[in-house]
Amino acid sequence: MRFEIITIFPEFFTGFFEHGVVRRALKDGLVSVGVQDLREFTHDRHRTVDDRPFGGGEGMVLKPEPLAEALESLGIAAKAERGLSPPTLAPEKTRQDGAPHSVAGTQAVEEGAVAGTRVILLSAQGLRFTQATARALLPLERVVLLCGRYEGVDERINSLYCDMELSIGDYVLSGGELAAAVVMDAMTRLVPGVLGNEASSEFESFGITDSEISADEIGVPRSQHGSGGLLDYPHYTRPAEFGGLAAPEVLLSGDHQQIRRWRREQQLRKTLENRPDLLDRAQLSDEDRRMLVSLGWQPVGWPSRGRRQG
Protein backbone atom coordinates (compact mmCIF):
# COMPACT_ATOMS: atom_id res chain seq x y z
CA MET A 1 0.00 0.00 0.00
CA ARG A 2 1.34 3.37 -1.01
CA PHE A 3 0.05 6.65 0.35
CA GLU A 4 0.58 9.97 -1.39
CA ILE A 5 -0.21 13.07 0.59
CA ILE A 6 -0.70 16.44 -1.06
CA THR A 7 -0.39 19.29 1.42
CA ILE A 8 0.87 22.81 1.97
CA PHE A 9 2.45 21.63 5.25
CA PRO A 10 4.72 18.71 4.34
CA GLU A 11 6.67 18.98 7.59
CA PHE A 12 3.46 18.35 9.49
CA PHE A 13 3.87 14.63 8.83
CA THR A 14 7.48 14.23 9.92
CA GLY A 15 6.71 13.31 13.51
CA PHE A 16 3.80 11.13 12.48
CA PHE A 17 6.00 9.01 10.22
CA GLU A 18 8.63 8.63 12.92
CA HIS A 19 6.57 6.98 15.63
CA GLY A 20 4.96 3.70 16.53
CA VAL A 21 3.19 1.39 14.16
CA VAL A 22 3.42 3.73 11.18
CA ARG A 23 7.17 4.13 11.57
CA ARG A 24 7.64 0.37 11.76
CA ALA A 25 5.39 -0.30 8.79
CA LEU A 26 7.35 2.23 6.73
CA LYS A 27 10.67 0.83 7.90
CA ASP A 28 9.62 -2.74 7.06
CA GLY A 29 8.38 -1.65 3.65
CA LEU A 30 4.83 -2.82 4.35
CA VAL A 31 3.57 0.63 3.42
CA SER A 32 5.29 3.51 1.69
CA VAL A 33 4.49 7.19 1.55
CA GLY A 34 5.21 10.24 -0.56
CA VAL A 35 4.48 13.79 0.51
CA GLN A 36 3.91 16.42 -2.16
CA ASP A 37 4.38 20.04 -1.20
CA LEU A 38 1.61 21.87 -3.03
CA ARG A 39 3.75 25.00 -3.32
CA GLU A 40 6.14 23.08 -5.54
CA PHE A 41 3.41 23.16 -8.16
CA THR A 42 3.02 26.94 -8.27
CA HIS A 43 4.73 29.20 -10.80
CA ASP A 44 4.62 32.64 -9.26
CA ARG A 45 7.16 34.39 -7.09
CA HIS A 46 4.98 34.05 -3.98
CA ARG A 47 4.18 30.40 -4.58
CA THR A 48 0.50 31.17 -4.25
CA VAL A 49 -1.75 28.23 -3.53
CA ASP A 50 -4.95 30.07 -2.60
CA ASP A 51 -7.27 32.79 -3.84
CA ARG A 52 -10.43 34.64 -2.85
CA PRO A 53 -13.73 32.80 -3.29
CA PHE A 54 -15.93 33.71 -6.22
CA GLY A 55 -19.11 35.25 -4.91
CA GLY A 56 -17.33 36.70 -1.88
CA GLY A 57 -17.35 35.47 1.67
CA GLU A 58 -14.90 34.52 4.32
CA GLY A 59 -11.49 33.05 3.83
CA MET A 60 -9.53 31.72 0.92
CA VAL A 61 -9.87 28.73 -1.37
CA LEU A 62 -7.11 26.40 -2.58
CA LYS A 63 -6.61 27.17 -6.27
CA PRO A 64 -7.24 24.37 -8.73
CA GLU A 65 -4.11 24.65 -10.90
CA PRO A 66 -1.43 23.62 -8.36
CA LEU A 67 -3.63 20.77 -7.12
CA ALA A 68 -4.20 19.50 -10.64
CA GLU A 69 -0.49 19.72 -11.36
CA ALA A 70 0.39 17.87 -8.18
CA LEU A 71 -2.04 15.10 -9.10
CA GLU A 72 -0.81 14.92 -12.69
CA SER A 73 2.77 14.69 -11.37
CA LEU A 74 1.69 11.47 -9.67
CA GLY A 75 0.41 10.16 -12.98
CA ILE A 76 -3.18 10.80 -11.99
CA ALA A 77 -5.36 11.98 -14.83
CA ALA A 78 -8.81 13.47 -14.46
CA LYS A 79 -11.45 10.84 -13.79
CA ALA A 80 -12.94 11.17 -17.26
CA GLU A 81 -9.60 10.18 -18.73
CA ARG A 82 -9.20 7.36 -16.27
CA GLY A 83 -12.48 5.87 -17.51
CA LEU A 84 -13.98 5.92 -14.05
CA SER A 85 -17.50 7.04 -13.43
CA PRO A 86 -17.76 9.84 -10.87
CA PRO A 87 -18.60 8.57 -7.39
CA THR A 88 -22.34 9.04 -7.59
CA LEU A 89 -23.02 6.98 -4.52
CA ALA A 90 -26.44 5.40 -4.49
CA PRO A 91 -28.39 6.10 -1.29
CA GLU A 92 -27.67 2.66 0.14
CA LYS A 93 -23.99 3.32 -0.42
CA THR A 94 -24.06 6.50 1.56
CA ARG A 95 -25.19 4.88 4.76
CA GLN A 96 -23.08 6.13 7.60
CA ASP A 97 -23.47 3.18 9.90
CA GLY A 98 -20.22 1.51 9.06
CA ALA A 99 -21.86 -1.62 7.70
CA PRO A 100 -19.22 -3.24 5.51
CA HIS A 101 -21.51 -3.64 2.51
CA SER A 102 -22.51 -0.03 2.41
CA VAL A 103 -19.50 1.87 3.53
CA ALA A 104 -18.22 4.94 1.82
CA GLY A 105 -15.42 3.77 -0.37
CA THR A 106 -16.88 0.42 -1.16
CA GLN A 107 -17.97 1.63 -4.56
CA ALA A 108 -14.45 2.56 -5.51
CA VAL A 109 -13.31 -0.91 -4.61
CA GLU A 110 -16.22 -2.59 -6.36
CA GLU A 111 -15.54 -0.68 -9.54
CA GLY A 112 -12.26 -2.29 -10.26
CA ALA A 113 -10.14 -0.24 -7.91
CA VAL A 114 -8.78 -3.37 -6.36
CA ALA A 115 -5.36 -2.91 -7.85
CA GLY A 116 -5.59 0.79 -8.48
CA THR A 117 -5.24 4.30 -7.22
CA ARG A 118 -7.95 6.40 -5.67
CA VAL A 119 -7.90 10.08 -4.80
CA ILE A 120 -9.48 11.07 -1.53
CA LEU A 121 -10.27 14.64 -0.58
CA LEU A 122 -10.24 15.21 3.18
CA SER A 123 -12.89 17.70 4.16
CA ALA A 124 -15.51 18.30 6.82
CA GLN A 125 -18.12 17.89 4.07
CA GLY A 126 -17.09 14.32 3.30
CA LEU A 127 -18.68 10.98 4.02
CA ARG A 128 -17.73 9.82 7.46
CA PHE A 129 -14.52 7.77 7.63
CA THR A 130 -15.04 4.62 9.70
CA GLN A 131 -13.21 1.40 10.44
CA ALA A 132 -15.28 -0.16 7.64
CA THR A 133 -14.05 2.54 5.23
CA ALA A 134 -10.47 1.75 6.20
CA ARG A 135 -11.07 -1.91 5.45
CA ALA A 136 -12.87 -1.22 2.18
CA LEU A 137 -9.93 0.84 0.91
CA LEU A 138 -7.32 -1.71 1.86
CA PRO A 139 -7.21 -3.56 -1.48
CA LEU A 140 -6.08 -0.39 -3.23
CA GLU A 141 -2.48 -0.12 -4.36
CA ARG A 142 -2.27 3.59 -3.85
CA VAL A 143 -4.32 6.08 -1.88
CA VAL A 144 -3.83 9.77 -2.61
CA LEU A 145 -4.83 11.97 0.31
CA LEU A 146 -5.53 15.51 -0.68
CA CYS A 147 -5.46 17.86 2.30
CA GLY A 148 -7.81 20.81 2.09
CA ARG A 149 -6.96 24.10 3.81
CA TYR A 150 -8.47 27.51 4.36
CA GLU A 151 -12.16 27.57 3.46
CA GLY A 152 -11.72 24.59 1.18
CA VAL A 153 -10.60 23.37 -2.20
CA ASP A 154 -11.91 24.62 -5.53
CA GLU A 155 -14.79 22.22 -6.10
CA ARG A 156 -13.70 21.49 -9.66
CA ILE A 157 -10.76 19.54 -8.28
CA ASN A 158 -13.22 17.42 -6.36
CA SER A 159 -15.40 16.96 -9.45
CA LEU A 160 -12.57 16.26 -11.84
CA TYR A 161 -10.08 14.22 -9.84
CA CYS A 162 -11.41 13.01 -6.49
CA ASP A 163 -13.00 9.60 -6.15
CA MET A 164 -14.37 10.32 -2.72
CA GLU A 165 -14.54 12.98 -0.06
CA LEU A 166 -14.03 11.81 3.50
CA SER A 167 -14.51 13.46 6.88
CA ILE A 168 -13.05 12.01 10.04
CA GLY A 169 -15.80 13.44 12.22
CA ASP A 170 -18.39 16.09 12.75
CA TYR A 171 -16.09 18.97 13.57
CA VAL A 172 -14.15 21.44 11.50
CA LEU A 173 -10.37 21.14 11.51
CA SER A 174 -8.02 23.81 10.24
CA GLY A 175 -7.08 21.53 7.38
CA GLY A 176 -7.04 17.99 6.11
CA GLU A 177 -3.56 17.09 7.39
CA LEU A 178 -4.72 15.64 10.70
CA ALA A 179 -7.44 13.76 8.86
CA ALA A 180 -4.95 12.37 6.34
CA ALA A 181 -2.79 11.13 9.22
CA VAL A 182 -5.84 9.50 10.80
CA VAL A 183 -6.76 7.72 7.57
CA MET A 184 -3.20 6.56 6.99
CA ASP A 185 -2.84 5.34 10.56
CA ALA A 186 -6.15 3.45 10.58
CA MET A 187 -5.37 1.79 7.25
CA THR A 188 -1.73 1.02 7.98
CA ARG A 189 -2.51 -1.02 11.05
CA LEU A 190 -4.83 -3.19 8.95
CA VAL A 191 -2.13 -4.04 6.41
CA PRO A 192 -1.19 -7.70 6.89
CA GLY A 193 2.05 -8.04 8.83
CA VAL A 194 2.00 -4.57 10.34
CA LEU A 195 0.76 -5.52 13.78
CA GLY A 196 2.80 -8.08 15.68
CA ASN A 197 -0.27 -10.18 16.23
CA GLU A 198 -1.84 -10.68 12.83
CA ALA A 199 -5.24 -11.04 14.39
CA SER A 200 -5.15 -8.17 16.80
CA SER A 201 -6.49 -5.49 14.50
CA GLU A 202 -9.52 -7.67 13.89
CA PHE A 203 -10.49 -7.71 17.51
CA GLU A 204 -10.62 -4.04 18.15
CA SER A 205 -13.55 -1.75 18.54
CA PHE A 206 -15.89 -2.01 15.57
CA GLY A 207 -14.13 -5.23 14.54
CA ILE A 208 -15.39 -8.69 13.79
CA THR A 209 -18.25 -10.59 15.31
CA ASP A 210 -17.90 -12.25 18.67
CA SER A 211 -18.64 -15.67 17.21
CA GLU A 212 -15.41 -15.46 15.24
CA ILE A 213 -13.36 -14.93 18.38
CA SER A 214 -11.40 -17.81 19.73
CA ALA A 215 -9.11 -18.21 22.68
CA ASP A 216 -5.38 -17.99 22.07
CA GLU A 217 -2.91 -20.81 22.69
CA ILE A 218 -2.87 -20.54 26.44
CA GLY A 219 -6.61 -20.37 26.66
CA VAL A 220 -6.87 -16.73 27.69
CA PRO A 221 -9.75 -15.02 25.99
CA ARG A 222 -8.07 -12.95 23.39
CA SER A 223 -8.54 -9.25 23.82
CA GLN A 224 -11.87 -8.81 22.10
CA HIS A 225 -11.55 -5.07 21.87
CA GLY A 226 -15.13 -4.27 21.18
CA SER A 227 -15.79 -7.14 18.85
CA GLY A 228 -19.15 -7.31 17.19
CA GLY A 229 -19.38 -3.56 16.84
CA LEU A 230 -19.08 -2.74 20.53
CA LEU A 231 -16.58 -0.50 22.27
CA ASP A 232 -13.56 -2.02 23.94
CA TYR A 233 -13.56 -3.22 27.56
CA PRO A 234 -11.32 -1.52 30.18
CA HIS A 235 -7.74 -2.73 30.53
CA TYR A 236 -5.60 -3.06 33.66
CA THR A 237 -1.98 -3.89 34.30
CA ARG A 238 0.33 -3.96 37.33
CA PRO A 239 0.28 -2.84 40.08
CA ALA A 240 -2.82 -4.66 41.27
CA GLU A 241 -3.66 -1.64 43.41
CA PHE A 242 -3.19 1.95 42.32
CA GLY A 243 -4.48 5.23 43.71
CA GLY A 244 -6.59 3.31 46.19
CA LEU A 245 -8.25 1.35 43.41
CA ALA A 246 -7.82 -2.38 42.99
CA ALA A 247 -7.81 -3.99 39.57
CA PRO A 248 -10.97 -6.10 39.18
CA GLU A 249 -10.43 -9.34 41.05
CA VAL A 250 -11.81 -11.47 38.24
CA LEU A 251 -8.89 -10.46 36.01
CA LEU A 252 -6.46 -11.94 38.53
CA SER A 253 -8.51 -15.09 39.03
CA GLY A 254 -7.18 -17.06 36.07
CA ASP A 255 -10.74 -18.13 35.31
CA HIS A 256 -10.88 -17.51 31.57
CA GLN A 257 -14.57 -18.13 31.31
CA GLN A 258 -15.30 -15.52 33.97
CA ILE A 259 -12.82 -13.12 32.43
CA ARG A 260 -14.52 -13.41 29.06
CA ARG A 261 -17.93 -12.84 30.62
CA TRP A 262 -16.71 -9.85 32.64
CA ARG A 263 -15.13 -8.27 29.58
CA ARG A 264 -18.24 -8.73 27.50
CA GLU A 265 -20.33 -7.14 30.22
CA GLN A 266 -17.92 -4.21 30.40
CA GLN A 267 -18.13 -3.76 26.65
CA LEU A 268 -21.89 -3.66 26.83
CA ARG A 269 -21.85 -1.19 29.73
CA LYS A 270 -19.32 1.09 28.05
CA THR A 271 -21.15 1.04 24.74
CA LEU A 272 -24.50 1.75 26.39
CA GLU A 273 -22.94 4.59 28.32
CA ASN A 274 -20.86 6.25 25.59
CA ARG A 275 -22.16 5.09 22.20
CA PRO A 276 -25.68 3.67 22.53
CA ASP A 277 -26.15 4.25 18.79
CA LEU A 278 -23.74 1.37 18.13
CA LEU A 279 -26.02 -1.08 19.91
CA ASP A 280 -28.64 -0.82 17.18
CA ARG A 281 -26.37 -2.64 14.76
CA ALA A 282 -24.08 -4.58 17.10
CA GLN A 283 -23.98 -8.36 17.03
CA LEU A 284 -25.74 -9.22 20.27
CA SER A 285 -26.50 -12.58 21.78
CA ASP A 286 -29.65 -13.19 23.80
CA GLU A 287 -27.50 -12.99 26.92
CA ASP A 288 -26.11 -9.63 25.80
CA ARG A 289 -29.61 -8.32 25.25
CA ARG A 290 -30.76 -9.49 28.67
CA MET A 291 -27.78 -7.80 30.23
CA LEU A 292 -28.38 -4.57 28.35
CA VAL A 293 -32.05 -4.48 29.24
CA SER A 294 -31.13 -4.97 32.90
CA LEU A 295 -28.90 -1.91 32.52
CA GLY A 296 -31.80 0.14 31.17
CA TRP A 297 -31.41 -0.29 27.42
CA GLN A 298 -34.44 -0.14 25.19
CA PRO A 299 -33.78 -1.62 21.77
CA VAL A 300 -34.90 0.27 18.69
CA GLY A 301 -38.55 -0.40 17.99
CA TRP A 302 -39.53 -0.36 21.61
CA PRO A 303 -42.32 2.12 22.33
CA SER A 304 -40.28 5.17 23.36
CA ARG A 305 -37.25 4.37 21.17
CA GLY A 306 -35.32 5.67 24.14
CA ARG A 307 -31.79 4.42 24.34
CA ARG A 308 -31.67 4.31 28.06
CA GLN A 309 -34.28 4.61 30.72
CA GLY A 310 -34.07 7.17 33.49
User: Where on the chain is the footprint of ligand ADE (CB under 6 A)?
Assistant: 122-124, 148, 167-169, 171-173, 175-176, 179
Query: What span, in angstroms and rounded, lies between the C-alpha atoms of 272 and 269?
Result: 5
Q: Which is nearer to ligand ADE, 71 or 145 (CB)?
A: 145
Q: Which is nearer to ligand ADE, 150 or 258 (CB)?
A: 150
Residue 103 C-beta: closest distance to ligand ADE, Å:
16
Q: Which is nearer to ligand ADE, 66 or 148 (CB)?
A: 148
Residue 167 C-beta: closest distance to ligand ADE, Å:
4
- Coil, strand, or helix at residue 5? strand
Residue 79 C-beta: closest distance to ligand ADE, Å:
21
Q: Which is nearer to ligand ADE, 181 or 282 (CB)?
A: 181
Residue 149 C-beta: closest distance to ligand ADE, Å:
8
- Contact of 149 with 50, CB cutoff 8 Å: yes
Which residue from 225, 213, 230 is spatially nearest to 284, judged by alpha carbons?
230
Tell me which residue has its CB nearest to ligand ADE: 179
Question: How is 81-123 classified by DSSP, letter by letter?
Answer: HHT-------GGGG--S--GGG-TTHHHHHTTGGGSEEEEEEE
Residue 3 C-beta: closest distance to ligand ADE, Å:
15
User: Each residue of 12-25: b (16+ CB within 10 Å) or e?
Assistant: bbeebeeeebbeeb
- Contact of 240 with 246, CB cutoff 8 Å: yes
Q: Which is nearer to ligand ADE, 85 or 159 (CB)?
A: 159
